[in-house]
Amino acid sequence: MSDSIMKLIITLLTLSIIAADSIYLICYLNKQNAPIRTTVVQALGVLLLVPLVFLLSFWDKLESQVVATILGAFIGYVFSRIPLKEEWN
């Protein structure tokens, strides 16, 4: 197999996994009658953005410095919402 066909197969497989995970999360929350909160939006962002950044890097559309900057900013956003407890329970 040529290199471009393998890249296409990896891309399609990754995109199908992203779609399946996102649909499963939304259906699970709908079944539980759970509201869509900030953490759900963050989880969907992780499920969607991180693999897409890696795919763009895989297809040589982004340089490694750009990938590191995007992932660092995204990780900082996700972890900034975690509350810090100053007291021990």
The identity of residue 12, as a single letter, is: L
- Contact 48/22 with Cβ under 8 angstroms? yes
For the chain, what percentages of helix, strand and coil (3-state, to nearest 5) are there?
75, 0, 25
Residue 86 sits at φ, ψ, to 5 deg, of: -95, -15
Please, what is the angle between helix 38-58 and helix 64-80, to 10°?
170
Q: What is the residue-level pLDDT of the chain in tens, covering all 89 positions?
A: 688 888 889 889 988 988 888 888 888 888 888 777 777 777 777 778 888 888 888 888 889 899 999 889 888 877 776 665 555 55
Q: What is the pTM of this model?
A: 0.68
In contact, 73 and 45? CB cutoff 8 Å: no
